[in-house]
Chains A and B, each alone.
Chain A
């Protein structure tokens, strides 16, 4: 069933890239880079001179990884994610997403994007919101229904299908938006500070759920945050960034924490060590500024 659907989405002319969205390849140990960025730069022209949003960024992300981007505001972490999603255009450098350009990857629907706010359409029920991308891709009603059922179940929103967004809490709305991003089974999940507006208790809870979801689906997740504990808790890899110019100053491997994590992992020495290194990185980035 999944195979068939995959081929449906693959109509835009791709071969091997989509074979990987088959669920048998869980928890990617494959070596191919899902995201390959070399010498990427992006400059805005502002009224008072150019803004160096990204400067000479190099980054390789493997399949199945959970990569967090952390840094103070203005460090370009959101911009980098938007470049990968083809929502911003770089001025220089090379970038490949699943082996093709970001715009090709977008056209063949390789990624799902979760924004800072749930961005649910208020006139659609939760189910209809989750089915929105499927409607756009032209899936049959029965298939849409089946997929929205499955995704809403996955994010624990069963029973809320016919509610409208305003009837749900902020955390539930964001879960619905994650279900929407996953509904068409993209290889990549791009998340831009998805839990930034939520309180810490809800955020902890959603972090645990997100990890479970990641383990179950085997997606590659790119996750922008400004919370150190969140970044360390979730990630296999943490990219520390710094502003003016926006650049990567450290890439930390957090694989040592394993893939099965509970909130208690945050008390362990390994966790604290990684968190310390992230903090050091952020501090050195700031000292550059002063």
Chain B
């Protein structure tokens, strides 16, 4: 047996898989990450330079360029924190702090997550119901659609305080008003995609139902709804991310005792840029997890519905 046959024919499966991964997406993904991190450090040094050298000047200290360079990456309240500073903050607030503490980022993430999920559930329900109505009642399409679209042209920052104040005045506070803001934002993509999905069956698929003299309820359950699911999931993925944004925005005007929005607000009050960035990272991670969860649900549904895997 020669070396050749060894390396070609008898290569064990795991290393082949690793090799494929290496040739596939691993290299480009790692490259992009490295480029971003490098650019970030460069930007951190550039943006913090002035502040650091001013601080040294005020203290009357004479420092070398390399000392200033290192100091730009270790400031307590930098203009732009360096990535490792954010990682340290994340470790401190996520791993080293018990989850019940108000200093734990996970505690705040949970507060935001709960109103995100409630808002997402309400928004999905509203979005789907609106879509079903619009598809089945012709006049509603003309009478509701303009309102639905104009609802999204109002800046959420303008309407969020109104919702909080109005609901607060009738004694509803805490989770629910934030969830309403989430729902207000996230129903829209769901309605739009669901209307598209419910009207997606082609003429022959609809004619087929007509030849069976199927009732509109049967057409809905056996044709329109299953045909709409792939559209619905596209809408849900957008909606869950927006829903998180809505929950965070909803935490800003309350004066915000808890939640990622509160962390952002508190961070900006006290110039705690590292805390702001850590909260942003937590929000981004949360969004990724939520979108991935919707993606997982989509894959499970697709498998049941025999969708050809891409």
Q: Which residues of A contact B (CB under 8 A)?
A: 85-87, 106-107, 109, 111-113, 115-117, 119, 121-125, 132-133, 135-137, 164, 166
Contact = CB atoms under 8 A, between A and B. Distances in A.
A122 B306 contact: yes
Interface string B195-211: 00000001011011111
Nearest to B205: A119
Interface residues of B, number: 21
Interface string B254-287: 0000000000000000000000000000000000
Contacts of B227: 121, 123
B223 A121 contact: yes
Contact of A136 (B202, B214, B226): B214
B306 A87 contact: no
B207 A87 contact: yes
Interface in B155-182: none
14 contacts: A86-B210, A87-B210, A106-B211, A109-B212, A111-B211, A112-B211, A115-B208, A119-B207, A121-B205, A121-B222, A121-B226, A125-B306, A136-B212, A136-B218
A60 to B, nearest CB: 23
A173 to B, nearest CB: 13
A105 B204 CA distance: 19
Contacts of B209: 136
A250 to B, nearest CB: 29
B213 interface: yes
Given A115-B204, A136-B214, 14 more contacts: A87-B210, A87-B211, A106-B211, A115-B208, A117-B204, A119-B202, A121-B205, A121-B226, A121-B227, A122-B305, A132-B212, A135-B222, A166-B306, A166-B308
A113 B211 CA distance: 7
Interface in B121-175: none
Contacts of B6: none
Interface string B211-232: 1111000100011001101000
A113 B205 CA distance: 12
B33 interface: no
A164 B222 CA distance: 16
Contact of A119 (B204, B212, B308): B204
Contact of B213 (A109, A116, A119): A109
Contacts of A164: 306, 308
The 5 closest A-B pairs by CB, nearest first: A164-B306, A123-B305, A119-B204, A113-B211, A115-B204
Nearest to A126: B306
Nearest to B215: A136
Contacts of A106: 210-211, 213
B307 interface: yes
A44 to B, nearest CB: 15
